[in-house]
Structure 1
């Protein structure tokens, strides 16, 4: 499917005049997997809407990371939106989880569009509600779930998002995204394997029970 068609489908629920403004002033960009597109302290110049692919948003403390949420097709980054409107530096990192096509909305135009077109406010408030729920889920998992459940749920979500099983991923990568140590992941992974839930391969992990 042509990129312009995908962009039009992504924006189809918005006011036609707003769509025309977005199409005239925004850029569609193809971004390779594992590309850092935003880091802490950076001022936001563009706000992405994902057309295809996947972006992960995370925080980092010292050498540990914690995955906050994914930006899927037809979604955007509410934290980038909030930082841009307040003209504040970003408090999160964002990288492409896989090859991604994104529509990049210029911040200076978005500020004007929020005043002219109520539709765009609806778009980002929907994103806010979605991200708020996801962040609450993340906090709940950290506070109340044992690591074996956190790890298993993490693998299920990543397979669902990427449509790939087995996953090509290391224990260190998983540890970074779950905010723990590699040794902890290795120990818990052995437990899940013993329970028949996963199979550890040379270059990845296969989920056996879904």
Structure 2
């Protein structure tokens, strides 16, 4: 299957060829759930194209943990696969995606034989830890209008478009709040000239 090889060109040639030879590449349409909580991990993903959302559920509410973008993997999946423990998170495809799926049985040997493979996950851990600290800062300091606006801007930058098609309920799940709160705050942002809502889309203009 064809894909932009520059996405994982940071890996050294020997590991690159091993990945292509012994892993599989699959396409997943938007909305596909690719990992459930309590599911044992059989493959480790590296996103080649598209976007994957990783989240938790608490009392039937979703909370966004992070997005996996092209050239990135999932540190939570990596940990669960190494420890052979059930997943503590869910993952679903946010935009049509092409994903490299690495059999977890190969991880122990590859981590030993290819130091740059280790570096990939050290980098992922550092990235997610920084994002966690930023999220905690938003929760402790920022009002919901700022959190929501920053969330929309971040999503816009990731998918590279000013118009985002997300329901109020989806946004509420991402931010761990109620749909009614999101509807009210979106209206406030619209009145302030920061967004426009029409035809199920939210356009960032401020």
Regarding TM over 0.5, the answer is yes
- Alpha-carbon RMSD across the aligned residues, in angstroms, is 1.2
Deviation at 1:207, TM superposition (A): 1.1
- For 2:7 and 2:103, the matched residues in 1 are separated by 17
- State yes or no: 1:200 paired with 2:197: yes
- State yes or no: 1:170 paired with 2:167: yes
Count of residue pairs brought into register by the alignment: 206
Deviation at 1:206, TM superposition (A): 1.3
Deviation at 1:202, TM superposition (A): 2.8
Deviation at 1:200, TM superposition (A): 1.5
Q: Deviations over 1:144-190 (max 9, x none)?
A: 11000000001101111112332111111110111000011111111
Q: How does 1:51-130 map to 2 (within 5 A)?
A: 51-130=48-127
- For 2:148 and 2:112, the matched residues in 1 are separated by 43
Q: Which of structure 1's runs of 4+ aligned residues deviate more than 3 A?
A: none
Aligned residue for 1:155?
152
Aligned residue for 2:41?
44
8 Å contact kept, 1:68–1:138: no
- State yes or no: 1:185 paired with 2:179: no
Q: Deviations over 1:23-53 (max 9, x none)?
A: 1110011110011001110111111111110
Q: Which runs of 5+ in 2 are unaligned?
A: none
Partner SS, residue 163 of structure 2: coil
- For 1:188 and 1:20, the matched residues in 2 are separated by 49
Q: Deviations over 1:117-148 (max 9, x none)?
A: 11100111011101111111112111211000
Normalised by the length of structure 2, the TM-score is 0.96
Q: Deviations over 1:82-125 (max 9, x none)?
A: 11000011111111110000111110012210111111001110
